[in-house]
């Protein structure tokens, strides 16, 4: 069938990509693109940075325009037009023109759905007050921007600490507001494991953000001209502005009402060609269900990068091409003040839930040669399927070089690489960029050492449980004397500096379970080897060392873990 | 056989790694490590940065010491000791103690050779003068450092422009010296293709470096207290300091004299376990021959990162382990003033020499979202096996984000990934780190567009040849009028702004070969599509656009190309 007319629903990332690609596949097809909002193809992911002034001009957020789409791609881009119904039998869409209030119908041969997602609003009193907002669209942003300018709020409460939540926190804080974060989960950024999220929490607290975990929003009210946020823990927080960012949901009503299949994740079901259960209807962006390439299971991937790829594929395939999008490894990155926080694949908790027996290992190398100025520590956690050795996920936190390592690890995971085999990657080395042993290579070597039986790691969580339950273990701190003053040894630990361990080994009981630790795990690994080679059979090393021990300095102890 | 004694020859990267790893495999083995120089395990790759003061303290270059190796690893590290002979029959090495002048013998059960490499010195008069030096060892560096301090040279000539050459140029220039570079090849950094190396040359010239290509060193002399460098083109350059960095050669005499096999590349032959032709002798670092994972052929990989991995494997395997090093994809990175210059795999020229029919494609996206402050252009060249679609190599040049992209591409190449499949990588996206379409994703999409028949690229080199030979082509510049003022159109081009192309298409001859270009290749790709879809059969797009056209502004034209 010759495709004479393509209708695209949604004109931001997925929709605009689809329309532009469709034009490159045919000069003859008529393309109509409907966008509910006033702008097409704006920089959704840049919105928080406009609030702080990091992005200075509103026009920088406008990547393109209806006029441009008409001129360059001969796409009839109609803004403020909401598609409210799909008549699949007659192959027509019903459109509300929000400017005129009129309803019109438009025929299609092929249809691409890219209506995006909407923010979840907790069903509590007061969320409709004027100083309460979400931060999802350019309109939201404009409203908050004006509010900041006119009302000059001093304080803000940010409810929810996902990607948009923490970006909002940073940017409102940069703007000078006092921020309180309220998060229902017992940690920030729930895609991370708890102890990694703790590093982010400390950093944000250090930057002056007040954080309340395990607290849900109960209500918002206005009293004597100021806002009050109440949490389900009975807390009252006075504020001038409330930002709600507790998650998003795919916009699927249009598809659902038309009888298109929706998956168990709540996204529109598509095949790898972005084709819905109706072969003439394609879908792309936040509204669809994607495939997690690690588990092979359906997931949601509401990212601009995904929407662009999917839109391109949907636009091509609607015109008869075969462009496949296999899925996503689940790569996430977010800037949190001076930190970059990133993840790909599964967290340890997610891997457990998926039925794997996860091996969690930590390394803390610097992002480039230590002797080159500006070296900064990275904190890397790898999650491996203990049995097969396959890398299932990684989390990386640090000030510099985080994005590089997560992208290398995401590429490795796309290829179902084993942890050990990371060691074989030929990563670029010169002192300004990496160390002779790149952090990813170190993660691979540490994994190979494990699989060769050279050491047995224990995670902070496991050690904490042993200590709490009073197990009969010998805990050895192999740091030097100076370091002990900087940070206290763990309770019950005996101190044997690594270079004296060989001499002192005779005083230890080779039959007892012995756990060695240092600051980051390198010296304790040597300690583990020395003890093993001296006949100790039950030796473990605290993976990641004390730098990775999140229990002492936090406000909560292991009871606060989420799993 | 129980390994009672391990002897390691060389104590810098490969040797020190081997000795430390061996200790972690056995507490019983006696380990003796010989180093010819006065220091073990120093930061070889940091040396140029110490000359400029970027690395401030000499002690920062000393990663570890003999004393430390003795204390922590019980390695008997003997410096200023040169191993001059291996008696394989009696399993002994003969050692010259350079401090005492005495010769001693030492028995071994297993031997690890890591004697490194030595700089090539052109056999011309004057290279032994006091103001002529190489920059390979810490001793070289100390000598140059003192020279800079005492003689306060104003000018330097750097002969050779490989990695160490360009690092030396940058760091001596930072120190305030006027630099002249003399390079025998018709380009800098010969691992790059010519047009990519040209970008580096322009940048260096912009930084005030004088560069003479296709000129060899003829002689150095001293006259009236100043140095004179003469080139084989008759040029005379007055100077105060001469640095020679024309390449290195593996140190293989010791191995060769002992009858160990040396490969065609000139490096010691080892299997993937770093084992030489004598099963009791292992080797690691600059002295060995490695495997190029792209071609499967032997190569040399004289990099600190390689030496560390190889040393670790050699140390483990000498003690009975089985740690394999498969080879290297050939990843290289170097800082050149504000630029980062990187490569992995094969250049276009190398791919041709290997018998491939290379597809060279260029993309020039910015390293992160254009609307986020600090966006800088990257210049990416991918080299693909045209028939199979397999990615063979990539070159990336830019100010930021280069190291990330080359490492992702190196990881992709490790997995023999196709160019198209890059599009499927799930790379981390947030505005400070990337764009919704990451540069690597764009490279993949551009490749997919090619393989789907959507466009036909022409490289600047190919177009230049067509123009020079006077072929009957139609050349269309689709940029806008303003851009034309910024940079002239190519000779003979007609100007049709992209948005007018549809209207003007009737005036063009669909049977003629038509080549479309713009600034970077995006609009010309759309132009290519429009013309194809209007029935033009012989359309090509200038890959990378005018930004990638190196002929007009350089001092030489296509005659200077190297192939």
Nearest residue of B to residue A455, measured between CA atoms:
B24
Give the pLDDT confidence score for residue A41 in this predicted structure.
Answer: 86
Cβ–Cβ < 8 Å for B406, A406: no
Find tokens 């830019």 and name the residue. Answer: B398
Give the pLDDT confidence score for residue B1 in this predicted structure.
Answer: 72
For residue B538, pLDDT over 90 is answered with yes
Decide the pairing of beta strands A155-159 and A178-182: parallel
Q: What is the pLDDT of residues B347-377, one digit of tens each?
A: 999 999 999 999 999 999 999 999 999 999 9
Residue A553: pLDDT band by 50, 70, 90 thresholds? very low
Instruction: List chain B residues with CB under 8 Å of A369.
Output: 43, 45-46
User: Can you tell me the distance from the alpha carbon of B279 to that of B286, in angstroms, rounded to the nearest whole number?
Assistant: 20
Residue B556: pLDDT band by 50, 70, 90 thresholds? very low
Instruction: List chain A residues with CB under 8 Å of B164.
Output: none
Across chain B, mean pLDDT equals 95
Q: Where in the sequence numbering do the catalytic residues of A fall? A: 45
Residue B552: pLDDT band by 50, 70, 90 thresholds? low
Q: Which CATH number fits domain A338-451: 3.90.1200.10, 3.50.50.60, 3.40.50.1820, 3.40.50.620?
A: 3.50.50.60
Q: Provide the 8-state DSSP code for B536.
A: -
For residue B561, pLDDT over 60 is answered with no
User: Can you tell me the distance from the alpha carbon of B106 to that of B93, in angstroms, rounded to the nearest whole number?
Assistant: 5
Instruction: List chain B residues with CB under 8 Å of A534.
Output: 27
A430 closest CB neighbour out of B309, B323, B333: B333
- Asked about B45 being catalytic, the answer comes back as yes
User: Can you tell me the distance from the alpha carbon of A82 to that of A94, in angstroms, rounded to the nearest whole number?
Assistant: 8
Give the pLDDT confidence score for residue B559 in this predicted structure.
Answer: 34
Q: What is the pLDDT of residues A101-119, one digit of tens each?
A: 999 999 999 999 999 999 9
Instruction: List chain B residues with CB under 8 Å of A452.
Output: 321, 323
Cβ–Cβ < 8 Å for A427, B331: yes
Q: Range with the lowest mean pLDDT among A41-45, A395-399, B96-100, B169-173?
A: A41-45
The CA R_g of chain A, rounded to the nearest whole Å, is 27
- Angstroms from B324 CA to nearest CA on chain A: 9
Domain B457-560 part of CATH 3.30.390.50 = no
Helix (H) or strand (E) holding B426: none
Question: Does A305 sit within 8 Å of B434, measured CB to CB?
Answer: yes
Tell me how far CA of residue A468 lies from CA of A342, A451, A460, A512, in angstroms. Answer: 31, 29, 12, 18
Across chain A, mean pLDDT equals 95
Question: Does A163 sit within 8 Å of B498, measured CB to CB?
Answer: no
Give the pLDDT confidence score for residue A42 in this predicted structure.
Answer: 87
Domains of chain B: which residue ranges? 5-116+249-318, 132-246, 338-451, 457-560
Give the pLDDT confidence score for residue A556 in this predicted structure.
Answer: 36
Cβ–Cβ < 8 Å for B378, B362: no
Q: What is the pLDDT of residues B37-56, one digit of tens each?
A: 999 988 989 999 999 999 99
Q: What is the pLDDT of residues B441-470, one digit of tens each?
A: 999 999 999 999 999 999 999 999 999 999
Question: Does A428 sit within 8 Å of B163, measured CB to CB?
Answer: no
Nearest residue of B to residue A56, measured between CA atoms:
B373
For chains A and B, CB pairs below 8 A equal 232
Question: Does B454 sit within 8 Å of A24, measured CB to CB?
Answer: yes
A5-116+249-318: CATH topology is FAD/NAD(P)-binding domain (3.50.50)
Question: Does A431 sit within 8 Å of B43, measured CB to CB?
Answer: yes
Q: Is the pTM of this model over 0.90?
A: yes
Beta bridge partners of A382: A361, A394
B132-246 has which CATH code?
Answer: 3.50.50.60
Give the pLDDT confidence score for residue B554 in this predicted structure.
Answer: 37
Question: Does A323 sit within 8 Å of B433, measured CB to CB?
Answer: no
Select the residue from B41, B407, B496, B530 to test the A interface by mutation, using most A Cβ atoms within 10 A.
B407
- Angstroms from B227 CA to nearest CA on chain A: 32
Residue A63: pLDDT band by 50, 70, 90 thresholds? confident
Instruction: List chain B residues with CB under 8 Å of A26.
Output: 533
Instruction: List chain B residues with CB under 8 Å of A333.
Output: 428-430, 433-434
Q: Regarding predicted confidence, which is higher, A41 or A433?
A: A433
User: Mean pLDDT throughout A20-29?
Assistant: 97
- Angstroms from B217 CA to nearest CA on chain A: 28
- Angstroms from A563 CA to nearest CA on chain B: 26
- Angstroms from A114 CA to nearest CA on chain B: 16
Question: Does A436 sit within 8 Å of B304, measured CB to CB?
Answer: yes
For residue A406, pLDDT over 90 is answered with yes
Question: Does A371 sit within 8 Å of B63, measured CB to CB?
Answer: yes
User: Mean pLDDT throughout B188-207?
Assistant: 97
Give the pLDDT confidence score for residue B380 in this predicted structure.
Answer: 98
Residue B99's region, left for phi above 0, alpha for psi from -120 to 50, else beta, is: alpha
Select the residue from B426, B441, B450 to test the A interface by mutation, using most A Cβ atoms within 10 A.
B426
Instruction: List chain B residues with CB under 8 Å of A431.
Output: 43, 45-46, 49
Select the residue from A429, A430, A451 to test the B interface by mutation, using most B Cβ atoms within 10 A.
A430
* HSE toward the beta carbon, residue A541, CA cutoff 13 A: 32
Sheet holding B457-458, edge to edge: B457-458, B539-542, B513-517, B473-477, B494-495
User: Can you tell me the distance from the alpha carbon of B313 to that of A424, in angstroms, rounded to the nearest whole number?
Assistant: 11
- Active-site residue among B25, B45, B81, B518? B45
Tell me how far CA of residue A527 lies from CA of A488, B467, B556, in angstroms. Answer: 19, 69, 61
Give the pLDDT confidence score for residue A14 in this predicted structure.
Answer: 97
Give the pLDDT confidence score for residue B202 in this predicted structure.
Answer: 96
What tokens does B117 get? 């490499």
Tell me whether domains B132-246 and B338-451 share a fold.
yes
For residue B555, pLDDT over 50 is answered with no
- Angstroms from B249 CA to nearest CA on chain A: 20
Counting other chains too, the contacts that A550-556 makes at CB distance below 8 Å and 24 or more residues apart are A550/A194, A550/A195, A550/A198, A550/A199, A550/A460, A551/A460, A551/A464, A552/A488, A553/A202, A554/A198, A554/A201, A554/A202, A556/A186, A556/A213
Tell me how far CA of residue A160 lies from CA of A183, A246, A340, A343, B300, in angstroms. Answer: 5, 4, 19, 19, 53
Phi then psi for residue A240, to 5 deg, are -110, -20
Question: Does B431 sit within 8 Å of A45, measured CB to CB?
Answer: yes
B305 closest CB neighbour out of A55, A307, A438: A438
User: Mean pLDDT throughout A74-84?
Assistant: 97
Instruction: List chain A residues with CB under 8 Å of B417.
Output: 415
**Which residues, other chains included, contact A12 with Cβ-Cβ below 8 Å and sequence gap of 6+?**
A35, A37, A40, A41, A42, A44, A114, A116, A285, A307
Residue B32: pLDDT band by 50, 70, 90 thresholds? very high
For residue B558, pLDDT over 70 is answered with no
Q: Where are the beta strands (DSSP E) in A297-401?
A: 298-299, 332-336, 339-345, 358-363, 378-385, 391-398
């Amino acid at each position: 069938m010759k495709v004479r007319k393509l209708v695209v629903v949604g004109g931001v990332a997925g929709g605009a990509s689809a329309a532009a690609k469709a034009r490159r596949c045919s000069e003859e097809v008529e393309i109509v693109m409907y966008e509910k909002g006033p702008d097409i193809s704006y920089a959704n992911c840049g919105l928080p940075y406009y609030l702080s002034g990091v992005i200075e001009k509103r026009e920088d957020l406008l990547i393109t325009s209806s006029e441009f789409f008409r001129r360059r791609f001969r796409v009839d881009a109609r803004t403020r037009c909401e598609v409210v119904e799909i008549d699949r039998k007659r192959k027509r869409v019903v459109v509300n023109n929000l400017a005129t209030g009129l309803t019109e119908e438009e025929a299609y041969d092929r249809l691409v759905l890219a209506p995006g997602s909407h923010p979840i609003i907790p069903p509590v009193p007061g969320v409709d007050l004027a100083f309460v907002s979400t931060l999802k669209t350019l309109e939201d942003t404009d409203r908050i921007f004006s509010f900041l300018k006119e009302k000059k709020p001093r304080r803000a409460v940010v409810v929810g600490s996902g990607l948009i939540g923490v970006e909002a926190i940073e940017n409102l804080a940069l703007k000078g507001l006092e921020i309180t974060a309220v998060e229902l989960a017992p940690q920030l950024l729930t895609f991370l494991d708890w102890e990694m999220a703790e590093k982010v929490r400390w950093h944000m607290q250090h930057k002056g953000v007040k954080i309340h975990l395990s607290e849900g929003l109960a209500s918002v009210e206005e009293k004597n001209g100021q806002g009050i946020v109440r949490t389900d823990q009975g807390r009252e927080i006075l504020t001038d502005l409330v930002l709600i960012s507790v998650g998003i949901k795919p916009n699927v009503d249009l598809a659902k009402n038309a009888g298109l299949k929706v998956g168990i994740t709540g996204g529109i079901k598509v095949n790898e060609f972005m084709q819905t259960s109706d072969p003439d209807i394609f879908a792309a962006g936040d509204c669809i269900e994607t495939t997690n390439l690690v588990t092979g299971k359906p997931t949601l991937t509401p990212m601009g990068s995904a929407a662009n790829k999917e839109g391109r594929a949907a636009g091509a395939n609607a015109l008869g091409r075969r462009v496949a999008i296999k899925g996503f490894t689940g790569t996430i990155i977010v800037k949190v003040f001076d930190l970059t926080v990133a993840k790909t694949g599964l967290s340890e908790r997610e891997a457990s839930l998926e039925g794997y027996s996860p091996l969690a290992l930590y390394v803390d190398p610097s992002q480039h040669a230590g002797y080159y100025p500006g070296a900064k520590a990275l904190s890397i956690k790898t999650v491996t399927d203990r049995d097969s050795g396959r890398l299932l996920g990684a989390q990386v936190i640090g000030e510099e070089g985080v994005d590089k390592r997560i992208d290398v690890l995401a590429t490795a995971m796309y290829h179902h690489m084993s942890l050990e085999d990371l060691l074989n990657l030929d990563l670029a080395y010169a002192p300004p960029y990496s160390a002779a042993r790149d952090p990813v290579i170190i993660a691979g070597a540490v994994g190979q050492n494990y699989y060769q039986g050279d050491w047995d790691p224990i995670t902070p969580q496991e050690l904490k449980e042993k200590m709490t339950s009073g197990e009969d273990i010998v805990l050895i701190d192999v740091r030097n004397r100076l370091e002990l003053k900087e940070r206290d040894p763990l309770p019950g630990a005996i101190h044997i500096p690594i270079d004296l361990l060989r001499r002192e080994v005779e005083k230890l009981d080779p039959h007892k379970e012995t756990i060695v630790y240092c600051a980051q795990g390198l010296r304790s690994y040597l300690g583990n080897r020395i003890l093993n080679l001296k006949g100790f059979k039950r030796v473990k090393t605290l993976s990641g060392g004390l730098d990775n021990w999140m229990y002492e300095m936090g406000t909560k102890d292991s009871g606060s873990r989420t799993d």
